[in-house]
Amino acid sequence: MTVKKTANMEIKKKNHSDIFQLLRKSDGLTKQEIVNTLQLCLPTVTQNINDLSGQGLVTEYGTKGNTGGRRAKLYGIVKDAHVAVGIDITRNHVAIVAVDLTGSICYKKRVRRKFEETDDYYRYLGELVDDCIRSVNITPERVLGVGIGVPGLVTADNQTVFYGEILHFTGATCSQFSRYISYPTVMLNDAKAAGFAETWIKPDIKTAFYLMLSNNIGGAVIMNGSPYMGSHFRSGEVGHICIERNGRKCYCGQRGCVDCYLAATELSDLTDGKIAGFFSLLAEGDPEAKARWDSYLDHLAFTVNNVYMLFDCPIILGGYVGEYLPAYMGEIKERARKYNSFETNADYLLPCMYRTEAIAAGSALHFITQFLESI
């Protein structure tokens, strides 16, 4: 009897979740459309719609049908029934976003603020979060949590930075960063957060490698929709693969690392640190910009081919440089193709979907995903 009762409860929970997830991915459905899609009976769909409506997660979206007859009601989710906040910490900036239950960014802000391990800095993060919540006009109980993306490697419990040479903050804890944040908070590696965001919004891609081309190079292995962390939580650190023996000195202490050749600063140093300025010069045909770009593309093609040989999966190009790459994907693929030992194309290379704030969005999606899995 207990086994049967447990099985019935599991079926009810699955129906509840399936109906919500179907509505989340649609622009509005009638009860009959839900019945037809999920092969459920109408009373089951009606009961679950009522339950989800009572929880504030589903609402009527209007009606549908031919004129002259009774029009069927359309139902959809309340996108902002809950939101999560994501923060991206860099050396000189802080970005913050709010993300709704569909993964859409409903608020974003980027401010120049130099990183420092001080009480004033942590208080500022708290103020940014409070301003964000006020701006999206929701009550605190509807905030699922705050994810903080950092340029460092983070422990399994998302609470401590165990390698943070970029900002020199090894040993920093989530409790420090969240000192003035009144919501559940976790820390995540920046590249893994961004890679998770990119595959989250591409339902047809569950496994991919995300290459973050920012002021430092990061990477993330996404397998079956989740970041693969590795035995020591160091997976995907493509920035520290050696591509030039005895090459340039890297901040990690080694020489010839990818980071030394593909960092966005390799380009933006020509335009006072402004990456947009570099691509403007490049578009104008500036000789020095063209020379730097040529060298950059060679190192990029060599790097992505090495990654592809290892993982044999789509590679998503993101980060500061990734924002500008769609116009150059043909040239990038052509260069990468020449290194490929098995194929005559490089169609595995994809531009990023989040042109900006992928790290902050992915950090917020940590909490969105947890909530969706709980329904």
Residue 144, domain CATH = 3.30.420.40
The verdict on 19 and 125 lying in the same domain is no
Q: Is the pLDDT confidence value at 320 over 80? A: yes
| Residues listed for the chain | 375
Asked whether residue 172 falls in the same domain as residue 295, the answer is no
Here the tokens at position 192 are: 């893994």
- pTM given for the model: 0.90
Residue 268 has pLDDT above 90, yes or no: yes
8 band by pLDDT with thresholds 50, 70 and 90: confident
Query: According to the model, what pLDDT value does residue 51 have?
Result: 95
Please check whether residues 368 and 294 belong to one and the same domain: no
Residue 134 burial class via C-beta count within 10 angstroms: exposed 0-12, middle 13-18, buried 19 and up? exposed
**Pair of tokens at residue 152:** 């460092």
- Same-domain pairing of 67 and 107: no
| 213, 189: one domain | no
Q: In terms of domains, do 180 and 219 share one?
A: no
* Res 231: pLDDT: 92
So what's the pLDDT on residue 110? Answer: 96
pLDDT value at residue 71: 84
Structure tokens at 324: 């500008």
Q: Give me the pLDDT at residue 10, please.
A: 87
- Band of the pLDDT at 355, cuts 50, 70, 90? confident
Q: Chain-wide mean pLDDT for the chain? A: 94
Same domain, residue pair 230 and 341? yes
**Does 315 lie in the same domain as 211?**
yes
Domain extent at residue 275 = 203-351
Same domain? 278 vs 210: yes
- Token couple for 19: 């109906």
What are the beta bridge partners of residue 255?
249
pLDDT of 176-208, one tens digit each? 999 999 999 999 999 999 999 999 988 889 999
User: In terms of domains, do 235 and 111 share one?
Assistant: no
Q: Give residue 5's pLDDT band: very low, low, confident or very high (50, 70, 90).
A: low
Residue finishing a domain among 18, 46, 77 = 77
